[in-house]
Structure 1
Amino acid sequence: MNKHTSVLFDLDGTLLDTANDLGEALNYVLKNKGLKPVDREKYRPIASDGAKGLLELGFGERLSEFDFDALRLEFLNYYEQNIAVHTDLYPNIEKLLFTLNEINIPWGIVTNKPEYLSKILVPKFPQFDQCRTLIAGDTLPQRKPHPAPILFACKEMGSDPEKCIYVGDAPRDIEAGNRANMYTIIAQWGYILDINECKHWQADAITLNPLDILATIK
């Protein structure tokens, strides 16, 4: 296998475990509407789908009774004010990023999270200080699974896409990476509901340990 010279990561469910803060935002909105909260084990696998996926989960068939845009705004406002209360790095991510920095491998983040939230969240973690690029869901007209965001991130880092790794925990991550001719790795530690299903995403590799990524680096 050819070695690679740069790495791009998804954010939620790959670098950061943001599920509990997102779930708190969902349950805040549900409580305000007189509805029952969603248990942690039910909202965690949906966390990568953001406000839309979580609101659909929480409201279910009753979603059509409400103004979705108003619900989403309420969700995002609460989340913005409580964005890193329960959020933390996944195990071994700090060591992985430290090692990439030590061996001068440029790395960045490509997420579908809104840009304004991404730019609030990422600086709260000093481990991300050497992140070369941060491309969010609304940075460009396209978002994952379109390859444009990760190709744009490569351009910002001065990296060859065919020598770049893309790591994510959702089908849209792997599709985007594959469409950009990148080496794709499934972050099995993330928000994956069915481990067997992710075997069909056509990724180049699946790993439970972020440090395994280093074996693909030059």
Structure 2
Amino acid sequence: MLKVLPKPKGVLFDLDGTLLDTARDLGNALNWVLQQHEMPVCEFDVYRNIASDGSQGLLEIGFGEKLAEFDVEALRALFLDRYEQEICIDTVSFDGIKELLARLDEDNIPWGIVTNKPQWLTELLLPNFDEFANCQVVISGDTLAKRKPDPLPLIHAAKIMQIAPSECWYIGDAKRDIDAAIAANMTSVVANYGYIGPEHRSDTWNADLYIDQPQAMLKHL
């Protein structure tokens, strides 16, 4: 039986892999760090589906078993410094995101961002995209004491938008996004166009809705 979903009164988005395709800039930073340590670089197809896991996940895929031989915090600092310097060279919004956000604005449906990206990087990245001008709230990974998969950031964002969590949708491309949305009593949406590989088995995440492109959200508004 097809599940009937309530029309959202507010929408919250993950950032990397959901609103923005940041994989190439993240991968470029990883490969720069690898080159500094005379390690072979990673191909796009290798790191793309790890991009949502941030610096730790990328360093693990890049250095593999050799990661244990290095000071991981020092590597992470190098990675973040390089990423900060070139944070928006190849980053773009996913096809259809501009249209989706414009429709939310047109329908007076408030929307915001809840990401695990550090606040200083989030604040550096977002101003590069005019389509985010009407964003109502931004919660980063270090804004609060807890981050996804804990539901606190989602609940806090909904409170700022003055919308009950049960009337809010959350869209993300990682299991932690869906776990947080379910725990927050929000309608959960998997962005299958994001950084999801077959190994992630998103069909087992128990989400309310799966979309293969951002435009698929329009029929629910």
TM-score interval, normalised by the smaller of the two chains:
over 0.9
2:152 maps to 1:148: yes
Q: How does 1:47-196 map to 2 (within 5 A)?
A: 47-194=51-198
Instruction: Evaluate the alpha carbon distance shift between residue 94 and residue 195 of structure 1 in structure 2; reply closer, same or farther with a 3 A threshold.
Output: farther
Whether the aligned pair in 2 keeps the contact of 1:6 and 1:159 (CA below 8 Å) is yes
Matched with 2:201 is: 197
> Following TM superposition, by how much is the alpha carbon of 1:78 offset from its aligned partner in structure 2, in angstroms?
0.3
Please give the TM-score of this superposition, normalised by the length of structure 2.
Answer: 0.96
CA distance in 2, matches of 1:195, 1:65: 27
CA distance in 2, matches of 1:161, 1:215: 21
> Following TM superposition, by how much is the alpha carbon of 1:159 offset from its aligned partner in structure 2, in angstroms?
1.1
2:9 maps to 1:5: yes
Worse-matched range after superposition: 84-93 or 189-198: 189-198
Code of the residue aligned with 1:15 in structure 2: it is: L
Unpaired segments ≥5 residues, structure 2: none
Matched with 1:208 is: 212
**CA deviation profile, 1:125-177 (whole Å, cap 9, x unmatched):** 01101000000001001000000001000011111110000000000000000
Worse-matched range after superposition: 170-179 or 192-201: 192-201
Matched with 2:42 is: 38
> Following TM superposition, by how much is the alpha carbon of 1:195 offset from its aligned partner in structure 2, in angstroms?
7.5
Percent sequence identity is 50
SS of 1:52 mapped into structure 2: helix
> Following TM superposition, by how much is the alpha carbon of 1:3 offset from its aligned partner in structure 2, in angstroms?
1.6
SS of 2:113 mapped into structure 1: strand
Code of the residue aligned with 1:4 in structure 2: it is: P
* Root mean square deviation of aligned Cα: 1.0
SS of 1:199 mapped into structure 2: helix
**CA deviation profile, 1:34-72 (whole Å, cap 9, x unmatched):** 100001100000000000000000011111111111000
Code of the residue aligned with 2:38 in structure 1: it is: G
Please give the TM-score of this superposition, normalised by the length of structure 1.
Answer: 0.98
Q: Which ranges of 4 or more aligned residues in structure 1 deviate by more than 4 Å?
A: none
Whether the aligned pair in 2 keeps the contact of 1:169 and 1:192 (CA below 8 Å) is yes
Q: Give the count of matched residue pairs.
A: 217
**CA deviation profile, 1:5-50 (whole Å, cap 9, x unmatched):** 1100000000000000000000000000010000110000000000
> Following TM superposition, by how much is the alpha carbon of 1:196 offset from its aligned partner in structure 2, in angstroms?
7.5
Whether the aligned pair in 2 keeps the contact of 1:14 and 1:169 (CA below 8 Å) is yes
Code of the residue aligned with 1:70 in structure 2: it is: A
Whether the aligned pair in 2 keeps the contact of 1:188 and 1:195 (CA below 8 Å) is no
Code of the residue aligned with 1:40 in structure 2: it is: F
Matched with 2:23 is: 19
Code of the residue aligned with 2:211 in structure 1: it is: T
> Following TM superposition, by how much is the alpha carbon of 1:216 offset from its aligned partner in structure 2, in angstroms?
2.6
